[in-house]
Amino acid sequence: MGGGKDFGGASMVSGDFSLVGFSSDEAVSNTSNGSFTMVDGKVFGYDKSSDGDAIISKSLADFNALSVGDTISVADPNDTDTTYQLTIVGIYKNSTDSTQQMGGPMASNASDPANAIYTSVSTLRSLGLDADADTDSAARLNYTYVFSSKSDYEAFCEDAINAGLDDDYAVSSADVENYESSLVPLNNLSKFALTLLIVVLAVGGVVLVVITLLNVRERKYEIGVLAAIGVNKVKVAAQFTLELLIVTMIGLALGACAGAVASVPVSNQLLASQIEQQQSQQTNQREQFGRDMQGSADGSGTGAQDSGNANDSSNSTDSQNSDSASNQNSAMPGKGGNGPEGMMDRAVNYASSVNATVNLTVVGQLLLVGLGLTLIAALVAVVFVLRYEPLQILADRS
């Protein structure tokens, strides 16, 4: 039976099980405990003809020797004299284990995914446990919205704020947050690569200018002879520019080929190092600051990475939860996992590999870089060529 917990004089009642009601198949597919599959029986219906039908987890069924067709009696943790009769019409098995339950004094058996009893909103309404019921055990509403892309989710956040959402409330998505967290090592690698690219381009530009200056100085007599026989200085400068451009393009071609071959293994090695560093940092934070004790700010919400949740805002209802306690068995399977309490630390699956390709866009960018460096170096060569006086050069030579 669920008991009360005392926190400095304030008592909080916690049940052993979570009674979760759904209004549609779409709501079931986005259950806060993650995806599941039916191993026996069938899923309940959503109309009044299915009132009292429920499905339980395989762990719960095996632990309590329950099967399809059995009737269980669930007690109200706020009033143990009040019980609710439910008929087991199906047994499911959780297929996602992605989280850890929050520890500390706030932990309860009801937050264990294996202790979630699924039924319909109609059943909760018939038992007087829906959101409109004026009781301590009334259900709380979780609003789940599914979007086709992250940009649609961001547009929804703006719409919610523009519609007048108070500053005390926030719109968040566990999936978007997990998605963005999974890209942290990749973004770090991208910043590192960008910094390295800028340094390489800067050094390469300086080296190219220096080599051009040395080349012009070494061929100073050639420039004087060409100018002395009537060749326009502009044509002489264009010759240096063309030579420089040919050398630069050959270098870019060789560099692109070498980069295409080496980029994938090198990038994956660097990414693995970034992932290890990120995981080590998170572990240190948990050990030093008790991050496992903190609740998630995004409420309950699952699905693909493009789904979002709006907590504490009034919109269409997908599911209703009610904590309850069983008066048949006081023992439950072990705690752990992502319960409907929404107070857990989600695991993050980091992007672990990079597939680098040299496409037309990359080739175009390389050409622009090559042209830019060539123009800078050629400008220096042109300045020096135009400053030279052919007669003075020949006189110095003789």
pLDDT in tens, 281-302: 777 766 665 444 444 333 333 3
Phi, psi angles (nearest 5°) of residue 373: -65, -40
Pair of tokens at residue 165 = 């959402």
pLDDT at 12: 53
Residue 119: its H or E element: strand 116-120
pLDDT at 54: 94
Sorted by sequence, the CB contacts under 8 Å of residue 146 that are 6+ apart come out as 26, 30, 303, 304, 306, 307, 308
Residue 86: its H or E element: strand 79-94
Tell me how far apart the alpha carbons of residues 43 and 55 are, in angstroms, rounded to a whole number. Answer: 7
pLDDT at 314 over 50: no
Q: Which residue type, as a one-letter code, is found at position 346?
A: R
Pair of tokens at residue 198 = 């800028």
pLDDT-wise least confident of 140-154, 266-280, 313-327, 336-350: 313-327
Pair of tokens at residue 104 = 């500390």
Contact at 8 Å (CB) between 23 and 120? yes
Sorted by sequence, the CB contacts under 8 Å of residue 224 that are 6+ apart come out as 388, 390, 391, 392, 393, 394, 397
- Number of Cα atoms under 13 Å in the Cβ half of residue 168: 1
Which of 381, 118, 104, 101 lies closest to 233, judged by CA?
Answer: 381
Q: Are strands 36-41 and 4-7 parallel, antiparallel or unpaired?
A: unpaired
Tell me how far apart the alpha carbons of residues 338 and 340 are, in angstroms, rounded to a whole number. Answer: 7
The mean pLDDT value for 23-48 works out to: 84
pLDDT at 364 over 50: yes
What letter would DSSP give residue 111?
G
- DSSP assignments along 332-388, one per residue: -SPP-S--TT--EEE-------------HHHHHHHHHHHHHHHHHHHHHHHHHHHH-
Indicate the average pLDDT of the chain. Answer: 74
Q: For the chain, give percent helix, strand, coil, nearest 5.
A: 45, 20, 35
Phi, psi angles (nearest 5°) of residue 109: -65, -25
> What global pTM score does this model have?
0.47
What pLDDT band is residue 56 in, cutting at 50, 70 and 90?
Answer: very high
pLDDT at 244: 83
pLDDT at 361: 83
